[in-house]
């Protein structure tokens, strides 16, 4: 390696917030099914603790030896609703088992308290979804997700209505902890099965028994690269610069993923190319958009800039690794991005503009704090709108909103750590209950007929 390239990487890490956001071990629990829920839980605890016993140590060893920050070590498991279908009983028993595993192993999060109901409920799905608020309130490390729609299946509006109530209840029963329950819950359309990022990670049924997935993050590096470019540089040139930078970032993720795979004796899965921001100043997707020429994120032109960024990140990253997956692109979580927080507080970035941006970003309405009096039906309407964008555009979309119980517009809800803090954003509270309560299924669009 050339000396200047080594120094460039060191600068990225030391000054521009470059890191491996997560090494996530995906573990299948299908062989842990049992008619007795207590037996099933014992099997789960044994398998997870056996396979992931060295996960944290391996991440720390790689970080120390290569000088690359590995911020999170995480686990994702088979959607737990599939096990509830076999065992019956109170699904929260599974959540408590996952929490014990997280505490024993020292991982940051464990995801997979999930259900896939895009085309309807099967045995175990409804019970698990109803239990989500209790499960998230009684655990610290467990994350939950529900897939309520897809381009192939359409949108399950019965599940959308149910999730509106579940999101609100998750916030209510953790109101004494800044409504953290809702911050660990994601509602998806077109959920990927190999996503290493929380709170939406689960180990899909089409995955192997155990795999290692890596999520890289480098908004600060991309912003720094763009800041050095001439103000007269064309958008073609800026896109090319983003591609080259994304290539360098992803190569580092490929290196860490392969090394973790070899040391743990587990197959390497994918690298997720996503630019995942943090509350740290400079480590912001919003600042990248502003380097492209916007005064503030949310100004007209924001959606176009984000579309270009997302595409350039994927084009650059896909050349750097043989296995790309997960969400891949640019995240726009409001509470986790210093630039987004500032734009929302200034009034330039509003919920409707964020919804438009979700048509071209990695995920959707992410980590958005809404007033505490926002009804379950209004939340369900947000979920339905996002699912429609994902369904029609054949992309992943998601909703992670936090009703801030007892808070009003303009106040700030502080989660701390990577989750940051979010200003309570104004929400259109017009009644939509007749639409939400019709139930049924919004049919799949014509794009579904591709076979």
SS (HEC) of the chain: CCHHHHHHHHHHHHHCCCEEEEEEEEECCHHHCCCCHHHHHHHHHHHHHHHCCCHHHHHHHHHHHHCCCEEEEEEEECCHHHHHHHHCCCCHHHHHHHHHHHHHHCCCEEEEEEEECCCCCCCCHHHHHHHHHHHHHCCCCEEEEEEEEECCCEEEHHHHHHHHHHHHHHHHCCHHHCCHHHHCEEEEECCCCCCCCCCCCCCCCCCCCEEEEEEEECHHHHHHHHHCCCCCCCHHHHHHHHHHHHHHHHHHHHHHHHHHHHHHCCCEEEEECCECCCCCCCCCHHHHHHHCCCCCCCCCCHHHHHHHHHHHHHHHHHCCCCCECCCCCECCEHHHCHHHHHHHHHCCCCHHHHHHHCCCCCCCEEEEEEECCCCHHHHHHHHHHHHHHHHHHCCCEEEEEEEECCCCCCCEEECCHHHCEEECCCCCCCCCHHHHCCCCEECCCHHHCCC
pLDDT of 4: 54
Write the CB contacts of 68 (distance below 8 Å, at least 6 apart in sequence).
13, 19, 20, 62, 252, 256
Site of tokens 């359309």: 189
Assess contact for 285 and 219: CB atoms under 8 A.
yes
pLDDT at 15 (0 to 100):
47
Chunk the chain into consecutive blocks of 10 residues (it has 451) and report each block's average pLDDT, rounded to whole numbers.
53 58 92 94 96 94 85 93 92 96 95 95 94 96 96 96 97 94 95 89 92 85 84 91 86 86 92 78 82 92 93 86 82 86 90 93 90 95 96 94 92 81 91 94 86 72
pTM for the whole thing? 0.91
Show the domains of the chain with their CATH numbers.
Answer: 16-444 (3.20.70.20)
């Amino acid at each position: 390696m050339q000396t200047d390239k080594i120094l460039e990487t060191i600068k990225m890490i030391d000054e521009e917030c470059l890191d491996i956001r997560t090494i996530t071990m995906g573990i299948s629990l299908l062989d842990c099914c049992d008619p007795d829920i207590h037996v099933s839980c014992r099997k789960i605890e044994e398998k997870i603790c056996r396979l992931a016993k060295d996960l944290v140590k391996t991440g720390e060893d790689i970080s120390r030896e290569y000088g690359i920050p590995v911020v999170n070590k995480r686990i994702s498991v088979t959607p737990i609703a599939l096990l509830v279908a076999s065992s019956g009983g109170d699904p929260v028993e599974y959540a408590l088992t996952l929490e014990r595993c997280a505490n024993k192993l020292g991982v940051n999060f464990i995801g997979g308290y999930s259900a896939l109901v895009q085309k309807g409920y099967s045995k175990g799905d409804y019970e698990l979804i109803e239990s989500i608020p209790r499960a998230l309130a009684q655990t610290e490390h467990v994350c939950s997700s529900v897939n309520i729609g897809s381009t192939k299946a359409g949108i399950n509006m019965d599940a959308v209505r149910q999730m509106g109530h579940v999101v609100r209840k998750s916030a209510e029963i953790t109101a004494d902890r800044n409504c953290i329950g809702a911050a660990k819950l994601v509602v998806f359309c077109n959920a990927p099965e190999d996503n290493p990022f929380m709170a939406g990670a689960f180990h899909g049924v089409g995955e192997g028994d155990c795999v290692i997935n890596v999520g890289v993050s480098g908004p600060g590096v991309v912003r720094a690269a763009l800041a050095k470019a001439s103000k007269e540089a064309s958008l073609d040139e800026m896109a090319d610069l983003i591609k080259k930078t994304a290539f360098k970032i992803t190569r580092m993720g490929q290196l860490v993923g392969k090394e973790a795979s070899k040391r743990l004796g587990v197959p390497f899965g994918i690298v997720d190319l996503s630019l995942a921001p943090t509350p740290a100043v400079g480590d912001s997707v919003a600042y990248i958009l502003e380097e492209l020429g916007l005064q503030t994120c949310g100004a007209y032109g924001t959606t176009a800039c984000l579309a270009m960024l997302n595409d350039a990140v994927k084009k650059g990253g896909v050349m750097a690794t043989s296995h790309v997956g997960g969400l891949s692109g640019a995240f726009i979580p409001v509470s986790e991005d210093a630039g987004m927080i500032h734009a929302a507080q200034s009034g330039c970035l509003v919920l409707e503009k964020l919804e438009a941006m979700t048509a071209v970003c990695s995920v959707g309405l992410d980590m958005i704090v809404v007033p505490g009096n926002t009804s379950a039906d209004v939340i369900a309407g947000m979920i339905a709108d996002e699912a429609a964008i994902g369904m029609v555009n054949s992309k992943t979309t998601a909703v992670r909103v936090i009703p801030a119980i007892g808070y009003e517009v303009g106040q700030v809800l502080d989660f701390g750590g990577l989750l940051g803090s979010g200003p309570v954003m104004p929400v259109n509270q017009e009644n939509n209950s007749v639409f939400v309560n019709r139930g049924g299924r919004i049919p799949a669009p014509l794009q579904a007929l591709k076979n």
